[in-house]
């Protein structure tokens, strides 16, 4: 205790000296970074990918809750039980959409509303998926050493700026990413080296962020995570599952998730289902035929869509290590008008009907 009889300035100076001495005796010169929260402690993820919403919002669409009340799109998602928002990030897109400035500004809005952020790094200037992994234009002339450094620096920068709770290194990287340098079959060692460089950058920039690796479909998924990414530092296995591309056998989905869950915690990173086979613009929809559905259990109706997502949630919940799911294209209404040929190919799989009213499927986000 510092004596009260000492002059105030002397007491203040002595207190400062004592605090410095105590801090040096109790702590190393540089405090260690906090340990990441273990993946098994992560609250169940009920996520929606709404990456196109900043663009759609510019057309000022009006949305309605399920009971018909007009409400803001994000408020409807929040009230519906969505707790995490997944956003794609392109390196240098042809427009401002899905670029760093737009994503960063949108992420601030989402954080202010209490959403967790799931960042999906495409490492491309445009869409990345199993059949398309185009290297960003500004990296194409680099040799491999400089490419790896660029991937590390880019990943560090976006991670520091956004500090997402979840960060996905690559999108549907079945064939690798950053082709041709990171092509899985042509350059498997370089593929793993690029993944590791990105993972190391995340750990350095935001140790609490959970790293996801993302594979599309069920076939070959166990082999991919057992063999192709062996030695890479990551936390969570992420799968895409769409019946149109990955089969209609939900029992197989459950079996694959159980197998993967023995290795790492697992999430469904992308899934969706139609509430109708109709359309609301002149853009060809990706799902539009009965043979693309899981019939008779899940017809293309509001009830069928709800039942499908409810079953996905139940399967993940029943999987040891199952962390959650993400609904892709939740926002992708026909925002360009009923005659647009370059509008939405997904409006019949959104979480809102053709009148922009929330569908019953939103209830699956908060059901246990």
Domain ranges of the chain: 1-32, 43-365
Which listed residue (66, 102, 270, 347) is catalytic? 270
270 flagged as catalytic: yes
CA 104 to chain centroid: 14
Distances (CA, A) of 251 to 236, 298, 324: 22, 14, 17
Q: What is the pLDDT of residue 41?
A: 57
Choose among 362, 368, 326: nearest CA to 81: 362
Residue 143, Cβ density class (10 Å: 0-12 exposed, 13-18 middle, ≥19 buried)? exposed
CATH of domain 43-365: 3.20.20.80
Nearest-10 Cα torsion for 72, 75, 76, 81: 170
102 flagged as catalytic: no
Say how many C-beta atoms besides its own lie within 10 A of residue 98's C-beta.
24
Which listed residue (66, 102, 165, 172) is catalytic? 172
Nearest-10 Cα torsion for 232, 192, 32, 162: -110
Q: What is the pLDDT of residue 76?
A: 98
Choose among 211, 210, 237, 242: nearest CA to 226: 237
Sign of CA dihedral 314, 236, 165, 246: negative
Q: What is the pLDDT of residue 96?
A: 87
Q: Could you list the mean pLDDT of each consecutive 10-residue stretch along the chain, which spans 368 residues?
A: 37 38 35 40 90 98 98 98 98 96 98 98 98 98 98 98 98 98 98 98 98 98 97 98 98 98 97 98 98 98 98 98 98 97 98 98 92
Contact 204, 239 (CB under 8 A): no
d(CA 110, CA 237) in angstroms, rounded, equals 24
d(CA 281, CA 233) in angstroms, rounded, equals 44
Phi, psi (5° rounding) for residue 72? -75, 145
Bridge partners for 48 per DSSP? 85, 327
What confidence tens digit (pLDDT) does each residue in 221-258 have? Answer: 999 999 999 999 999 999 999 999 999 999 999 999 99
């Amino acid at each position: 205790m510092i004596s009260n009889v000492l002059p105030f300035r002397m007491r203040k100076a002595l207190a400062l000296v004592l605090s410095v001495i105590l801090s040096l005796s109790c702590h190393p010169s540089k405090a260690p970074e906090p340990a990441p929260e273990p993946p098994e402690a992560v609250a169940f993820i009920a996520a929606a990918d709404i990456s196109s919403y900043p663009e759609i919002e510019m057309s000022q669409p009006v949305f309605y809750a399920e009971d018909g009340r007009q409400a803001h799109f994000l408020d409807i998602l929040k009230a519906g039980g969505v707790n995490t928002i997944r956003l794609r990030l392109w390196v240098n897109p042809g427009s401002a959409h899905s670029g760093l400035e737009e994503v960063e500004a949108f992420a601030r809005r989402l954080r202010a509303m209490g959403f967790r952020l799931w960042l999906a790094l495409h490492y491309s200037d445009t869409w990345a998926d199993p059949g398309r992994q185009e290297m960003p234009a500004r990296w194409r002339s680099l040799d491999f050493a400089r490419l790896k450094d660029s991937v590390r620096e880019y990943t560090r920068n976006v991670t520091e700026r956004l500090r997402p709770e979840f960060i996905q290194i690559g999108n549907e990287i079945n064939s690798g990413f950053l082709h041709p340098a990171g092509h899985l079959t042509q350059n498997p060692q370089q593929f793993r080296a690029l993944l590791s460089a990105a993972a190391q950058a995340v750990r350095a920039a935001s140790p609490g962020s959970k790293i996801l690796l993302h594979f599309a479909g069920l076939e070959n998924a166990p082999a991919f995570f057992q063999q192709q990414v062996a030695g890479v530092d990551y936390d969570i296995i992420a799968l895409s599952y769409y019946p149109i591309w990955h089969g209609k056998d939900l029992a197989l989905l459950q079996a694959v998730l159980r197998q993967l869950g023995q290795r790492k915690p697992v999430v469904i990173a992308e899934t969706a289902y139609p509430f109708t086979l109709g359309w609301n613009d002149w853009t060809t929809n990706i799902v539009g035929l009965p043979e693309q559905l899981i019939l008779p259990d899940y017809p293309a109706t509001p009830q069928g869509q709800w039942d499908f997502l409810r079953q996905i949630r139940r399967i993940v919940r029943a999987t040891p290590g199952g962390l959650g799911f993400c609904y892709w294209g939740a926002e992708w209404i026909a925002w360009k008008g009923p005659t647009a040929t370059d509008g939405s190919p997904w409006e019949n799989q959104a979480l809102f009907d053709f009148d922009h009213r929330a569908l019953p499927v939103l209830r699956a986000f908060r059901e246990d």
